[in-house]
Amino acid sequence: MDYNPFSLEGKTILITGGAGGIGSEVARVCSKLGARIILTDIREEALTMALDTLSKHEGKEHLAIKADLTDADELNGLVTAIPEIDGFVCNAGVMKLVLTQFITEEELKRIQSINLNAPILLTRSLLKKKKINRGGSIVFTASAAGVYRVSIGNAIYATTKCGIDAFMRTVALEYGHKGIRCNSVNPGMVETALISGFTEEEKEKEMLNYPLRRFAKPEDIAFGIAFLLSDASSFVTGSALKIDGGMTLS
């Protein structure tokens, strides 16, 4: 029996932030579902290691391209270097907790540049250069932060993710008639390097807000992204998929 509407066979998928955390797990899951993967990240060594973990397919070589997405030349170089794609997972991001009165302009610009400007500029260039095929799917890794919930010290990060939410819905509206879908996943806390700034005590306290009494594993988010990349979600566009273990219910 080979019925599988969630298959990614025949699709080429670009994943940013692919060197670790959610991005490398998305790459592994998508490669197992049959996709050819193009991974990109600023961390070259980790990128090569992530590439080595992907399921191999005959005649479809996965690619890894090192790029700092906040550098215009490197971003444009990436767009030029890649073939046409069927899926784009815009996932690279950073987080830093700081109380509002201590926000510096430098930190604000740095986080906005990675979390908001780079996704907008990269999506723009991919669309302008017609790199995303008809039937293609764009998925942003947004967050429950900002879109569904705010928390102390997280103003910059939450603001960038709200920006991504608005951008995602706008792209969905503009490109639906070209057969290109655009959605986001909005995770709660996920066990990756991004949350390494929290102490164990802070994490235990935070976990009490999760009805399922755990944080997500990268795989939990990757499965949601794989669904949005697959033809099983071909009537889903402009949606923000909460994957938060019920955290935002109360």
Ligand X SMILES: NC(=O)c1ccc[n+]([C@@H]2O[C@H](COP(=O)([O-])OP(=O)(O)OC[C@H]3O[C@@H](n4cnc5c(N)ncnc54)[C@H](O)[C@@H]3O)[C@@H](O)[C@H]2O)c1
Q: Residues in the site for ligand X, rule: CB under 6 A?
A: 17, 19-23, 41-43, 68-70, 91-95, 114, 141, 143, 187, 189-190, 192-195
d(CA 171, CA 175): 6
Q: Which is nearer to ligand X, 86 or 220 (CB)?
A: 220
Of the residues 148, 157, 175, 210, only one is catalytic, namely 157
> Is residue 148 among the annotated active site residues?
no
d(CA 79, CA 74): 9
Q: Which is nearer to ligand X, 101 or 196 (CB)?
A: 196
Q: Cβ 121 to ligand X, closest distance in Å? A: 12
Q: Cβ 81 to ligand X, closest distance in Å? A: 14
In contact, 90 and 59? CB cutoff 8 Å? no
> Which of 78, 75, 30 minimizes the C-alpha distance to 53?
30
Q: Which residues pair with 12 in a beta bridge?
A: 36
Which residues contact residue 236 at a Cβ distance below 8 angstroms, ignoring those fewer than 6 apart? Answer: 181, 183, 228
Q: Which residues pair with 57 in a beta bridge?
A: 60
Q: Which is nearer to ligand X, 69 or 182 (CB)?
A: 69
Q: Cβ 40 to ligand X, closest distance in Å? A: 7
Q: Which is nearer to ligand X, 60 or 110 (CB)?
A: 110
Q: Cβ 43 to ligand X, closest distance in Å? A: 4
Q: Look up residue 232 and give its two tokens.
A: 């099983």
Residues designated as active site:
157
